[in-house]
Amino acid sequence: MPFVDNIGFLMSRASGQLVRATNAALGSEGLRVRQYSVLSVVCESGGSSQRELAAVLGLDPSQVVALVDDLDAAGLVERRPSPADRRTKVVVPTEAGIAAGERAAGRAAKALEETLAPLTDEERATLRTLLARVTFATR
Amino acid sequence: MPFVDNIGFLMSRASGQLVRATNAALGSEGLRVRQYSVLSVVCESGGSSQRELAAVLGLDPSQVVALVDDLDAAGLVERRPSPADRRTKVVVPTEAGIAAGERAAGRAAKALEETLAPLTDEERATLRTLLARVTFATR
DNA sequence: TATTGTTATACTCTATAACTATA
DNA sequence: TATAGTTATAGAGTATAACAATA
């Protein structure tokens, strides 16, 4: 089988396409996909420690620091001291962050839709399930 | 649906896993996955111009220069002048490159096999087909 | 002792622009 | 004027190690 049909090559390429399309779509919000992923989780949970963010997103804690710094500087999240543990900082979305997160989600969804245009809804569901099973071991 | 079930996030994460596993598997050959991809195509074709490599792999020509430089320095490929066009350099594998490419292919296949362990053969085929259709537009 | 967040560092990957030599 | 390869540069992503504060 030709190298370009290798599943690893295809996945890397499809992922790159999707990241590029999503970054382009999020540009108007001043976000990139990694910052957006942190904002999304924080909006969803209403507040997460950086350790939780690292675990959920599969990132190193030091990367989370930088991403939260970016979102903080943009006024989209705040670090609040945890009442239970003074080592922990709870990252919570600001009002602006919630609004930006919602707009960004719409734009990201559109970029995803366009990138996955060749697939039917059923095929997208299949793809999601297969990818989820591949990544499950590292979650 | 939770953000971590987003198909873009899952694809990015699965792709990252696969690249890491493959890089680890190729380390003993002194290769990384991008250099390996160039070597694979060159071994397959028996000789490709850098422009062809860029097109087939979806890379910028300047990236191909660097990757071919690496493979050249390792003695795995050679740049030969094209008889038809003096601007063009044909990248051909050396004997060592062919041998390294075969060993690397075996190791990369094993890393892929382990990363895709949760999927059946049929599911892997489905995944490949879906990814190929997503990437087709940019080929 | 272990954990949370942080800083520092280095390397890889990605993206662009500009240059040369040839066509 | 356009194309193949190259160089240069900057920014983004990834990977580790070490540290202070706190548990």
Separation in Å, CA of B75 to nearest CA in chain A: 21
Which alpha helices (DSSP H) does chain B contain, by range?
7-26, 33-45, 50-57, 61-73, 95-115, 121-136
Q: How far apart are CA B44 and CA B57, in angstroms?
A: 13
Q: Nearest 5°: phi and psi at A18?
A: -65, -40
- Residue of A7, A22, A9 lying closest to A115 (CA atoms): A22
Per-residue pLDDT of chain A (139 residues; tens, 9 = 90+): 999 999 999 999 999 999 999 999 999 999 999 999 999 999 999 999 999 999 999 999 999 999 999 999 999 999 999 999 999 999 999 999 999 999 999 999 999 999 999 999 999 999 999 999 999 988 7
pTM assigned to the model:
0.96
Q: Which of A6, A7, A19 sits opposite B12 (nearest CB)?
A: A19
The CATH number of whichever domain residue A75 belongs to comes to 1.10.10.10
The distance of Cα A74 from the centroid of its chain, to the nearest Å, equals 17
- Percent with pLDDT over 70 in chain B: 100
- Please report the number of interchain residue pairs, chain A to chain B, with beta-carbon separation below 8 angstroms: 132
Q: Which of A22, A37, A116 sits opposite B3 (nearest CB)?
A: A37
Structural domain including A122 reads 2-137
Residue B137 is predicted with a pLDDT of 81
Interface mutation vs chain B, best among A5, A6, A9, most B CBs within 10 Å: A9
Q: Which nucleotide is nearest to B58 (CA to C1')?
A: C14
Instruction: Report DSSP letters for A36-74, one per residue.
Output: HHHHHHHHHHS-EEHHHHHHHHT--HHHHHHHHHHHHHT
Tens-digit pLDDT profile for residues B62-79: 999 999 999 999 999 999
Give me the sign of the Cα torsion angle B37, B39, B44, B49.
Answer: positive
Residue A127 is predicted with a pLDDT of 98
Per-residue pLDDT of chain B (139 residues; tens, 9 = 90+): 999 999 999 999 999 999 999 999 999 999 999 999 999 999 999 999 999 999 999 999 999 999 999 999 999 999 999 999 999 999 999 999 999 999 999 999 999 999 999 999 999 999 999 999 999 988 7
Tens-digit pLDDT profile for residues A11-48: 999 999 999 999 999 999 999 999 999 999 999 999 99
When divided into structural domains, chain B yields a total of: 1
Residues 62-121 of A with CB under 7 A from strand D: 62-63, 66, 85-87
Any residues with CB less than 8 A from the CB of B38 and at least 6 apart, and which?
B53, B57, B64, B67, B68, B71, B77, B91
Q: How far apart are CA A90 and CA B34, in angstroms?
A: 39
Nearest residue to nucleotide D15 when comparing alpha carbons to its C1'?
A: A60
| Distance spanning both ends of chain A, measured CA to CA | 32
